[in-house]
Amino acid sequence: MDWKSKLSEAVNYLRSRDLEARIGIVLGSGLSFTVEKLKIKEEIDYRFIPHFPLPTVKGHPGKMSLVEWTGEKVIILQGRVHYYEGYDLAEVTLPIRVLRSLGVEIIIITNAAGGINLSLQQGDFMLITDHINFMGDSPLRGVDFDPRFISLTNAYDRELGLIYEQAAHKLNIPVKKGIYLAVLGPVYETPSEIRMYRLLGADAVGMSTVPEVIVARQLGIRVLGISVIANPTINAEEFDHDRILNIMEFSSRQLGKLISEILTNLSSGRK
């Protein structure tokens, strides 16, 4: 079965459960606690959504939630799948296509990342202003995607970035911005690779997000990207996945407050 048929079946199932929203959120590794204070109206395990890719990595619960915040419906993906898990990029990005079909026009994409810029500390939030695709592939590779030749000049929406900054200032969260570099993974980077990425202009590095952003922009979805800095990469040898998840759990609750404020601003701006 091709991805278009899979998309159709997944969307039909979710519409039968009355899932639709203008705003979507993708939560990265260990960030599921972000939804704690949000009122969940519906929650569906990915296993029950036809053809939905299932996360195999700890820290990605694999649940789709419909929440409501100040009258605005929001669909949240608690966990994602990665290219390194063995999925192809059409499967990795199928959830983004599903969200668009359910009415999503704005998406907040989050991830856990390693800090390359020496000013980024553990637990910092970095507003993604641009990215570098170092994964060696594109989700639009193949004959079945149209349009193919999309512009990524404004991949990360500047107006949404301003809304992020307003929310961060209100919560006294330092506003840090930077360029996210995506690698294939799943191994962490060598010191030599980190030096190379710094020379290329990257501020943070991770193993996700870029394929999702490419497809979101292909579909006309506006993107706000947020990296939660799990560790400065200069100390990467001291970290493993479990320790990073513990750090993310702590940061997740603060991220929840930030996203709640962003949603409030998005909802009030629509009225």
Active-site residue set: 29, 60, 82, 84-85, 112, 207-208, 231, 241
C-alpha torsion angle, residues 84, 85, 90, 91 (rounded to 10): -160
151-158 contacts, C-beta under 8 A, 24 or more apart: 151/217, 152/213, 152/214, 152/217, 155/130, 155/131, 155/213, 155/214, 155/217, 155/223, 156/128, 156/129, 156/130, 156/131, 156/213, 156/223, 156/224, 156/225, 157/106, 157/222, 157/223, 157/224
65 phi and psi, to 5 degrees?
A: -120, 140
Nearest one of 169, 156, 159 to 225, comparing CA atoms: 156
